[in-house]
A = this chain, B = another copy of it.
Amino acid sequence: MISRRQLIDQIKQKKSFLCVGLDTDIDKIPEFLKNYPDPIFEFNKRIIDATKDLCVSYKPNAAFYEARGIKGLQSLIDTWKYLPRDTLNIIDAKRGDIGNTSDKYATAFFNEEASGMSFDAITITPYMGNDSVTPYLKYDGKWIIILALTSSVGSKDFQYLETGDGYLYETVIQKANTWAGADRIMYVVGATKSTEFTNIRKYAPDNFLLVPGVGAQGGSLEEVCKYGITKDCGLIVNASRSIIYAGNDENFAEAARAEALLIQQQMEVELEKAGVI
């Protein structure tokens, strides 16, 4: 569990607002790891060891683990257990269902006794509205991170629809803001559209924004910060593939660290520019 205050303190201390996305794919990890009993966990463990002083958050995407059935879920559970307890540990699951079912998803990801895992935050898809979101908030101190504007091409299909009250993604933020405050809700905002941050900050001046799409998906950190950073930072920027697959041999963890360090150094510049540190 990590509060808003603890998250901000950690950003200042590490001079970083980096989230490392653990989208670990058996077909992309170094060959030599396949001799280990659980190559996925072994990969994650080494990535975590190599990056934990440079990032404030980790984000495994559930799909990559689910694709491997039982052994994938075991890798996810073991990864969760290995994650530092002072980073914001996000399960990128993009769940959304009616109330009694969302209760079960909340159990799956927030209740260690039941499922073996207790992440600090979960990503949520908003389409089903209020009752698909609020069950997660029953867990004291846990965060929900609601999809607002995503970085994929498909985001144009619905998120930019005019609802009379702005674009759909703006309506999502305005409505979700009535469910809980900036101490419990973050929003996913795709970095390929950095000029939209000005707009989003009108509706979500204090919320942390989880920004995917810097790196492999092509967003620019400087642009994101120009429009999105706040006095408390207010940003968690995710990089997955560009860090975890920076190398593909025995030195992959060092290569990942080097890449994470480059991003952390850019982040330090931005934090100073914005007066956060």
Q: In the complex the two chains form, is A129's CB within 8 Å of B156's CB?
A: yes
Q: How far is the CA of A162 from the CA of B164 in the complex (A)?
A: 7
Q: In the complex the two chains form, is A63's CB within 8 Å of B161's CB?
A: no
Stretch at the interface among A68-76, A81-89, A202-210: A68-76
**Which residues in B have their C-beta under 8 angstroms from that of A23?**
101
Is A117 close to B, CB under 8 A? yes
Given A94-B95, A172-B158, are A67 and B152 also a contact pair (CB < 8 Å)? no
Is A31 close to B, CB under 8 A? no
Is A44 close to B, CB under 8 A? no
Stretch at the interface among A107-115, A220-228, A256-264: A107-115
Given A99-B152, A127-B126, A147-B127, are A67 and B108 also a contact pair (CB < 8 Å)? yes
Is A104 close to B, CB under 8 A? yes
Q: How far is the CB of A229 from chain B (nearest CB, A)?
A: 24
Q: How far is the CB of A124 from chain B (nearest CB, A)?
A: 10
Q: How far is the CB of A43 from chain B (nearest CB, A)?
A: 16
Q: How far is the CA of A6 from the CA of B168 in the complex (A)?
A: 39
Q: How far is the CA of A127 from the CA of B97 in the complex (A)?
A: 13
Interface residues in chain A, defined as those with a beta carbon under 8 Å from any beta carbon in chain B: 23, 25, 61, 63-64, 66-70, 72-74, 77, 94-99, 101-102, 104-105, 107-108, 111, 114-117, 125-133, 147, 150-159, 161-165, 168, 171-172, 175
Other than the given A129-B154, A130-B154, 6 more pairs (CB < 8 A) read A66-B104, A69-B77, A69-B117, A125-B127, A130-B153, A161-B165
